[in-house]
Structure 1
Amino acid sequence: MKLGLETESYHVHFQHHRMDIFDFINKAVEFGLDGVQINIIEDLNLDPDWGCLGSNEPEHLRKVRERLDEHELYCEIDMKGVDVERLKSVISVAEVLGADVIRTYINKGNFDPSKMELAINNIKEIEPLLEEKGISLAIENHEEEVSTEIIMLIEKINSPYVGCLCDIGNGMMAWEDPKITVNNLAAYTKTVHFKDHIVIKDGDKLRVSGCPIGEGNIDTDYCFKTLVEKTDIKRINIEMCHPYVSDFKRALGEGGVEWLGEGAFKIEEPYIDPNYILPMETYHPSDENLEFILELQENDLVKSVAYVKKLREKYCQ
């Protein structure tokens, strides 16, 4: 099983221009990983069209591809939405970079069934191009959907080039246990976001908080084992989402979990002061706090990579 690194794992470094795509590739190599997953959605202080990639200028893409090839790294792309023209432009970039998987998601903030229906027609329209280029589209179970809603979408599209990105933690925001998420999506999985979460109380609100992989309440051992045994994938991408918090997006019980207090939904003390982990698009840290967060993110990622490598040693001979 190959292990890759998603740029979101260094989102604070990217947002504050402490890292660019070449630095990130070098980090993946430094960690001894096998690939990268590049998030191209707009983000705080990043290119509005190409996010962590930085640009789609031909010379820039050529240099990125050369760096990937130099280190024999696989590449995947993370985008959002299902606009047909945007999909076509991302497919073109993916082809240049040698990326054979493109992740997208449909809902943001709230679950909207009408967006799901629109997605079916748009994805069917670009499916021939995916086939021509040999690229798979992986629809992520984002924070708004339960796994069965993603499965219904994929089955309606009915293409070998369209499956899912199984994010082992996102279902929590829809009150779905991560083990259920992984079990349900296994047969449809093209690629993975591997992470860990805890539930925290922030004032009067309950939130899902990221943390170093292996230190949260997701049964990551079970999830890794299931992905190895029940899918055909050859890659798992580390997405260490910390510092990061998210609100619950669906009503209690919609994803099958009807109470808190055990398993992945056990309420824990915040990993750090919640003021440090407000959504980064609304949080502008002081210089002192920024340096703390940058160091924290780096240290947490070191721990996360080491932990996932141990899972690989355990389950992949």
Structure 2
Amino acid sequence: MSENSKRQLKLGMHTYTLHFFGFCESGDSRDDRPGRVMSLEELMDKAVEWELDGLHITKVDLVTIDDENLSKVKKDAEDRGLFLEFNSSFDSENDSRINCTIEEALEIGHKLACQLVKFSLDVKRDRILYGSCMNPEIMKQLVEKYEIFHGAIPMIEEYGMKIAIENHTDTFADEVMWLVDKLNHPLIGACVDTCNPMRVIDNPYYTMERMLPKAYCCHFSDDIIVVDSLGVRDIGAAHGQGSLDCPKMVQQILEKSPMDTIIFENEIALERFDEPIEEARVREMKACEDSVRYLRDVLKLGVRNR
């Protein structure tokens, strides 16, 4: 076993894991949004209780982005020994509250002393996905994003934060890596999501192999893939209870990437449209706690509990 594969990975949580509690993206219709029932400070206390090393947060979680609040959040995290990463979108179709310009996202990340800022590209795709990787219409959008990131390089260098571009539900691994390779900057890398490839009919294993060498972040989830008379779909699950090979993915991360942190994420959805939000929150919290136990006790992730 190589020295690289022996290193200890820190364990953080994406706040989307508890989106029924009002964190992260929770729907852009005010009638559909789950109400906030837990503060970011309370979530930090939970993270300490679960022996996590940090949190991956959004503008929604911050509530306000004035200097006074950002200073408080930064101190709250430091007092608990938690790292912070900031998650941003350019034009989210799910929840516009998480949208930022690149300058705004970098400024927020800097004021929070974040070790990394992650961006979704929000590429708009035609309904036809098969064979659509890097088609001309997509490449036009990627060139526009190249100009945005390239123009922000002086600010990125001034703040010295790593930037991670994600294979969100709208991009193939090859598209993200085309952009990362063209930008060709040591502070700009990828964020590889383990389940998003399936949303664009991409291969999760190929995605990991393709993106990990230049990945600074991983959104680590484990969905259940269901094939039945209703079609093919993925259902959010706790880690170790889904269809992906979590130990294999961790080994890939250790062997192929420079990362020292894994960000876990659960994607629990309503079981039915009329499911009471209180019931959904119970299922979501249980999945979160099951994931923490599996990731810490079985896969041995996290340094706080060592």
Cα deviation, 1:17-49, whole Å, max 9, x if unaligned, reads 11121122111111100001002xxxxxxxxxx
1:112-157 CA deviation, whole Å, 9 max, x = no partner? 5122110001100001111110111110001122211111111111
Does the 8 A contact of 1:224 with 1:311 survive in 2? no
Q: How far apart, CA to CA, are the structure 2 residues paired with 1:11 and 1:236?
A: 19
Contact 1:106 1:115 in 2 (8 A): no
Larger deviation, residues 2-11 vs 84-93? 84-93
Query: Structure 1 CA distance, aligned partners of 2:256 and 2:298?
Result: 16
Aligned pair in 2 of structure 1 residues 73, 85: CA closer, same or farther (>3 Å)? closer
Structure 1 partner of 2:55: 36
- 1:217 is displaced (CA, Å) by 0.6
For the residues of structure 1 that align with 2:13 and 2:195, how far apart are their CA atoms? 16
Whether the 8 Å CA contact 1:221–1:311 is kept in 2: the answer is no
Equivalent position of 1:293 in the other structure? 280
Alignment-mate amino acid for residue 148 of structure 2: N
Matched, 1:176 2:202: yes
Is 2:114 the counterpart of 1:99? yes
Partner residue in 2 for 1:256:
none
2:88, 2:100 within 8 Å by CA — same for their partners in 1? no
In structure 2, which of residues 142, 145, 161 is the aligned counterpart of residue 116 of structure 1?
142
Structure 1 residue 107 displacement after superposition: 2.5
* Partner Cα separation in structure 2 for residue 197 and residue 127 of structure 1: 35
Contact 1:8 1:240 in 2 (8 A): yes
- The question of 1:303 aligning with 2:290 is answered yes
The correspondence for 1:9, drawn from 17, 21, 26, is 17
Per-residue deviation, 1:233: 0.9
Distance 1:306 1:144 in 2: 31
Runs of 4+ in 1 over 4 A off after TM superposition: 314-317
TM-aligned CA deviation for residue 206 of structure 1: 2.9
C-alpha separation between the residues in 2 aligned to 1:185 and 1:32? 28
Is 1:53 paired with 2:53? no
Q: 1:22 to 1:214 in 2, by over 3 A?
A: same
Instruction: Pick 1 or 2: higher relative contact order, CA cutoff 8 A, min separation 6.
Output: 2
Q: How far is the alpha carbon of 1:223 from its aligned partner?
A: 0.6
Q: Deviation of residue 176 (structure 1)?
A: 2.1
Where structure 1 has 5 or more consecutive residues not aligned to the other structure, the ranges are: 40-49, 245-272, 277-284
TM-score by length of 2: 0.81
Shift of 1:312: 3.9
Shift of 1:311: 4.7
Where in structure 2 are the equivalents of 1:196-275 lying within 5 Å? 196-200=222-226, 204-243=230-269, 273=271, 275=272
Relative to 1, partners in 2 of residues 1:5 and 1:294: Cα closer, same or farther, differing over 3 Å?
A: same
Q: Is the 8 A contact 2:86 2:118 kept in 1?
A: yes
Once the two structures are TM-superposed, the CA of residue 204 in structure 1 deviates from its matched residue by 3.6
1:193: which partner in 2? 219
- Contact 1:136-1:190 at 8 Å conserved across structures: yes
Find the aligned partners of 2:124 and 2:141 in 1 and give their Cα distance. 12
Question: How high is the TM-score relative to the length of structure 1?
Answer: 0.79
Give the count of matched residue pairs: 268
SS of the residue 2:156 aligns to: helix
Aligned partners of 1:187, 1:155: CA distance in 2, in Å?
11
Mapped to 2, the partners of 1:202 and 1:209 lie a distance apart of: 13
Pairing 1:165–2:191 present: yes
Question: What amino acid sits opposite 1:200 in the alignment?
Answer: V
Identity %: 22
